Amino acid sequence: MTGIRISLFFITLIFFGACSKPMPLENYSDDQLIEILFDVHVANNMVNANSKEIRDSLKRVYFEQLQEIHDLSASQLDSIIDLVHLDNKRHIRIYDSLSIKVQAMIDSETIKEESNNRNK
C-alpha cells in the first residue's frame, strides 16, 4: 500500500512538473527573443518612470500584457530572460541587436519631439 502511494506521488510530481516546464531557449529565434526582451525593457522603463506607489501594480499589468502578446506564461518569460543571460554568445548577439533597436526608438522619439517643438 505504501509503495502505491509513493508511486502515485511521484507520478503526480512528474505530471505537474511536465505541465509547467518552460520551453527551451532553442525554440525561439534571435528575432523573437529581441522582440520579447525589447518589450521587457520598454515595460520596465515605463514602470520605473512612475511613482513608487504605483510601480508594483503597473509592473503586474504591463507584464501580464507582455505575456499575452508573446503567448508566454510568467515562468516561460522568466526562463527566457535567465537563459539568454547564460548563453554568452547569444546574449551578446541579442543585446547588440536590442541596443540598436532601442537606439532607433530613442532617435525616432527625439526627431518627433524636435519636430513638435519647431511647429509650436
Band (11; pLDDT cuts 50, 70, 90): low
pTM: 0.69
- Tens digits of residue pLDDT in 64-108: 999 999 999 999 999 998 888 888 898 899 999 999 998 988 888
Which pLDDT belongs to residue 18?
Answer: 46
Q: For the residues 3-12, what does the mean pLDDT come to?
A: 54
**Whole-angstrom distance between the N-terminal and C-terminal Cα of the chain?**
82
Taking every pair of C-alpha atoms in the chain, what is the biggest distance, in angstroms? 82
Cell of 108: 525616432
Q: How confident is residue 20, by pLDDT bands cut at 50, 70 and 90?
A: very low
Residue 115 vs residue 95, higher pLDDT: 95
Extents of the domains making up the chain: 25-118
- 17-36 burial, b at 16+ Cβ within 10 Å, e below that, comes to eeeeebeeeeebeeeebbbb
